[in-house]
Amino acid sequence: MNKRIVCLISLLLLVGLAGTFLAACGSSSTPTSIPSPKSTVSGSSLDGQALMQQRCSACHSINRVTSAQHTAAQWQITVNRMIGHGAKLTPQEEQVLVNYLAQNY
């Protein structure tokens, strides 16, 4: 084979291997499955902190949530947007989460 073709094939293989390696390394955080709504019910009351840790951390680091400083209205908008992206919350859990986030962050 021509030296140029061998170099081209070698380069393509190297790029392919590098891409495979980078894809395998990817992100160190893997999204976890979203727990069922019943998993946050403790007796008859819902726990806002548990909801945040279970539902928000399915896609975000807890630090991303806790470092945000929002009003209740801003948290409501954010939570609604996350529900639009697939976050699973009942209307009651949504209100508990928004109240918890607004009071603490």
- Sketch out the chain's domains with CATH numbers: 46-104 (1.10.760.10)
Distance CA 84, CA 60 (A): 15
pLDDT tens digits in sequence order for the chain, 105 residues long: 788 888 778 877 777 666 665 555 554 444 444 444 444 444 346 899 999 999 998 899 999 999 999 999 999 999 999 999 999 999 999 999 999 999 999
Contact assessment for residue 79 and residue 98, using Cβ atoms and an 8 Å cutoff: yes
- Tell me the two tokens of residue 78: 């954010």
Question: Strand ranges (DSSP E) for 49-96?
Answer: none
